[in-house]
Amino acid sequence: MPAKKKKNNKPLVGKALIKEVCRRIRLARSRWDDHNNRACRQEREKAMALYESLSKEEREKVPQVLRVWLRYRSEKYFGPGRTPPKKKSR
């Protein structure tokens, strides 16, 4: 039987929010490296939502390597000019 996940209803703020943004970007990047585009897209969207909620000062605290990767992937591969993913038929 898998362990139960703790429910945390408190919104993240400060260092915890920055840490979660970095974690999500790293996870999306590892999914990208594994060629798992669907999982990468989902994690990138979550990371972008959290990143957009950061203030300008907090965004500066996210490592530049992660910010560049997020911006590059967002514009080039997941932007509005790209072909949307196809639905899988089973």
pTM: 0.73
Q: Provide the domain limits for residue 37.
A: 14-76
Whether residue 8 lies inside any domain: the answer is no
24-38 as b/e, with b when 16 or more CB fall inside 10 Å?
Answer: bbbbbbebbeeeeee
pLDDT tens digits, one per residue of 4-41: 666 666 677 778 889 999 999 999 999 988 888 888 88
Whether residue 89 lies inside any domain: the answer is no
Q: Would you mind telling me the total number of residues written for the chain in this entry? A: 90
> What is the number of domains present in the chain?
1
Whether residue 83 lies inside any domain: the answer is no
pLDDT tens digits, one per residue of 32-58: 888 888 888 888 889 989 999 888 999
Whether residue 30 lies inside any domain: the answer is yes
Whether residue 1 lies inside any domain: the answer is no
